[in-house]
Amino acid sequence: MAQYWLMKSEPDECSIDDALAAPGHTVPWTGVRNYQARNFMRDTMRVGDGVLFYHSSCPEPGIAGLARVASTAYPDPTQFDAASPYFDGASKAEAPRWLLVDVQALRKTRLIGLPELRADPALADMLLLKRGNRLSITPVSPAHWRHITERLMG
């Protein structure tokens, strides 16, 4: 059974346009440094799961496109790169701490901004909108996925 996710990316690092321009429209989802988000990738995500591609830490945060999980989890190479802002000196090649999945962009959508999402009563209990939630990856219920992809994206 398909599962659904909201995955946040800073558009300065990787936007929906960048992902669509990548070979095969596929990018590695590097830089996740939260254990719960890592565990979602490692334990729960499956190839083919739906992804709401969310632009964060920008002037207009919101859902910018649709994508899918394109690989199983594997070690994030940025944890071993001393020049990377995601370097983790405590992580070892024989026991990597951080993982990533590849994400394949499917299409760009109109930006569905945070104010629009917050104003929609059908999304009131969406994890993204919960007070204090700062996770870069959150599960999306099938009902929320349908509502967003059918009603808000058209």
Structure tokens belonging to residue 94:
């024989």
**Alpha helices by DSSP H, 6-141:** 16-21, 35-39, 114-119
Number of domains composing the chain: 1
pLDDT in tens, the chain (154 residues): 789 999 999 999 999 999 999 999 999 999 999 999 999 999 999 999 999 999 999 999 999 999 999 999 999 999 999 999 999 999 999 999 999 999 999 999 999 999 999 999 999 999 999 988 889 999 999 999 999 999 888 7
Residue 29: closest CA among 78, 85, 97: 78
Read off the CATH number of the domain in which 63 is found.
3.10.590.10
Q: Could you list the residue range(s) of the whole structural domain that residue 146 is in?
A: 4-152
Q: What is the DSSP letter of 104?
A: E
